[in-house]
Amino acid sequence: MNTLDKTNFKFKNQTAYYKGKVRDVYTIDNKTLVMIASDRISAFDVVLPRGIPYKGQVLNQIAEQFLNATKDIVPNWLISCPHPNVSIGRMCEPFKVEMVVRGYLAGHAARTYQNGLRTLCGVALPEGMKENDKFPQPIITPTTKASEGHDEDISKEEIIKQGIVSKEHYEQLEKYTLALYARGQEIANKMGLILVDTKYEFGLYNNEIYLMDEIHTPDSSRYFYLEGYEERQQKGEEQKQLSKEFVRRWLIENGFQGKAGQTVPNMSDDRVNEISARYIELYEKITGKTFVKSNYDNVLENVEAAINKALENLH
C-alpha cells in the first residue's frame, strides 16, 4: 500500500522547513508557504506507525473547498492547490491562539461539564445540560497555541490582559469565527450533517487578518449526522459522528491513550484500509462530491514537480 508518509525536498529559495504531526511545511523566500498534507495520522498527540492511504488528499481537498466557500467572509492564505496533497499560500504572522467554537456540549466541553465545572475559558455554561445538547448560542473557547506540548484553555480576558492578542484584533477574530462557523453549519446541514465544533487559526498579512491552515476537516472539526439527532438525544443514546473519533476509540479499546509505557497497537493492512475507507466516506459526506483517488505511482516526484511548476508561476 503506497502512502505519502514523508517528504524531504529542497526547493529554490527555500528558507525554512517544518515537520508537523501531519503536514510538512516549506517556506519559500520567507513569504510563501508550501504545505504538504501527508498520509500520517496522529491521535493522543502521537503519530501512529503507519500512514493511511489518501488521508492527506482528503484533508487537503476538504480544506480547499471550505476555504474557497468562505473567502467572502474573511480573506485566507490559500493561493493554489497544484496537487491533491498540496496547498500553496501566503505566509502570515500567526496569532498565538486557536479560536475554538462550539455549538454543542461535546468533547472537551462535555468532560469539563461532567466534572461539575460551569465555566470554560471564562464562558458560563448553562445548568441542566446533557452531553451533545445544543448551546443556546455558539460559544468561543480559545486555547493558547503551544509550540510544544498541549494547547491550554484560556479566557478572552486573559488573552487581552497578557497582550497575546490586542482587544481590537481579538474582537474581530470573534466576529470572523462566529461568521465562519455559521457558514460551516449551513453547508453541513445541506449535507445532512451538524457541525458540532471546530477551530480556526488566523494571522496577519500586510496588517490585515487572514484565515490560515485547514478548516472544517474531520481532523479539526466534529460532525454529527443530522437525521435522528433529536431522537438520539431524547433517548440518551450516543450521537453518530463523522470525525477522527473512531480511530481514538479503536486505540482506547486496545489499551492506548498516549500515556507513558503504552504501546501503539499493531495496525494490520485490514485496519489501515478500513481507516482509509472511513476518511473517503467522510470526504464524500462533507463535500457532496465523489472522491477521485490520486495516482500514487511516483508520488514524491509528482508532488515535487507540481510544486516547482506552481512556484515558477508565482513569480
Looking at residue 76, the DSSP 8-state letter turns out to be: B
Residue, of 147 and 194, whose pLDDT is higher: 194
Q: Residue 218 has what pLDDT?
A: 86
Mean pLDDT of 74-84: 98
Position 8 in a domain? no
Q: Is 6 within the bounds of a domain?
A: no
If one counts every other C-beta atom within 10 angstroms of the C-beta of residue 217, the result is 24
Residue 249 domain flag:
no
Q: For position 146, what pLDDT does the model report? A: 67
User: How far is it, in rounded angstroms, from Cα 278 to Cα 95?
Assistant: 33
Adjacent-strand bridge partners of 100: 199
Average pLDDT over residues 139-157: 85
Give 118's contacts (C-beta < 8 A, 6+ positions apart): 124, 125, 127
The burial of 255, by beta-carbon neighbours within 10 Å (0-12 exposed, 13-18 middle, 19 or more buried), is given as exposed
Does some domain include residue 177? yes
* Residue 233 domain boundaries: 94-242
Domain boundary at 183, 208, 242, which? 242
- Checking if the pLDDT of 157 tops 70, the result is yes
pLDDT above 70 for 307: yes
Q: Is the pLDDT of residue 150 over 80?
A: no
Provide the whole-model pTM. Answer: 0.92
Domain with residue 189: its CATH number is 3.30.470.20
Contacts of 179 (CB under 8 A, 6+ apart): 73, 74
Indicate whether 82 and 19 sit together in one domain. yes
CA angle 130, 174, 101 (to 5 degrees): 30
Collapsing DSSP to helix, strand or coil, 256 comes out as coil
On average, the pLDDT of the chain sits at 94
Q: Does 83 share its domain with 109?
A: no
Do 76 and 117 reside in the same domain of the chain? no
Average pLDDT over residues 256-270: 91
26 shares its domain with 140: no
The reported pLDDT for the residue numbered 63 is 97
**Between β-strands 193-205 and 208-212, what pairing exists: parallel, antiparallel or unpaired?**
antiparallel
pLDDT in tens, 200-224: 999 999 999 999 999 999 889 999 9
Asked if 76 and 211 count as a contact pair (C-beta separation under 8 A), the reply is: yes
User: Which of 207, 242, 277 is the C-terminal boundary of a domain?
Assistant: 242
Same domain, 224 and 294: no
- 208, 242, 276 - which closes a domain: 242
* 37 assigned to some structural domain: yes
Q: What is the pLDDT of residue 223?
A: 94
**What local confidence, expressed as pLDDT, does residue 44 receive?**
84
Does any domain span residue 308?
yes
Shared domain for 235 and 288, answered yes or no, is no
84 and 102 co-located in one domain: no
Answer whether residue 58 shows pLDDT above 80: yes
Judgement on whether residues 152 and 76 belong to the same structural domain of the protein:
no
Structural domains in the chain (count): 2
DSSP string computed for 150-217 = ---B--HHHHHHTTSS-HHHHHHHHHHHHHHHHHHHHHHHHTTEEEEEEEEEEEEETTEEEEES--S-
Residue 190 in this model has a pLDDT that exceeds 90: yes
Please check the confidence at residue 148 and state whether its pLDDT lies above 70.
no
Mean pLDDT score, 12-26? 95
What CATH code is carried by the domain that includes residue 21?
3.30.200.20
Q: Is 252 domain-assigned?
A: no
Are both 69 and 103 inside the same structural domain? no
For residues 151-167, average pLDDT: 95
Q: What percent of the chain has pLDDT over 70?
A: 98
Is the domain of 47 the same as that of 183?
Answer: no
CA terminus-to-terminus distance, the chain: 37
Verify that 151 and 61 share a domain, yes or no: no
Residue 211 shares a structural domain with residue 186: yes
Question: Strand 78-83 to strand 86-90: parallel, antiparallel, or no bridges (unpaired)?
Answer: antiparallel
